[in-house]
Amino acid sequence: MKTRTSTATKPTLLMLLKGIITLFTLMLFSTQSAQAEQKERFGDYEVHYSAFTSTFLTPEIAKQYGIVRSKAIGVINISVLKKAENGLFEPVPAQLEGMRTNDIQQQQFLAFRRIKEGKAIYYLAEVQFMEGEVLVFNISATPEGQSQPLKLRFSQTFYNENK
* DSSP H or E segment with residue 126: strand 120-128
pTM of full prediction above 0.85: no
What is the spatial distance between Cα 49 and Cα 39, in angstroms, rounded to a whole number?
6
Q: What is the DSSP letter of 4?
A: P
Integer CA distances (angstroms), 64 to 53, 56, 61, 122, 152, in order: 17, 14, 5, 15, 28
One digit per residue, pLDDT tens: the chain, 163 residues? Answer: 443 433 444 444 444 444 444 444 444 444 333 445 699 999 999 999 999 999 999 999 889 888 999 999 999 999 999 999 998 999 999 999 999 999 899 999 999 999 998 999 999 999 999 988 999 999 999 999 999 999 999 999 988 865 4
Superfamily (CATH) of domain 10-157: Domain of unknown function DUF4426 (2.60.40.3340)
The rounded radius of gyration (Å) of the Cα atoms in the chain is 18
Domain ranges across the chain: 10-157
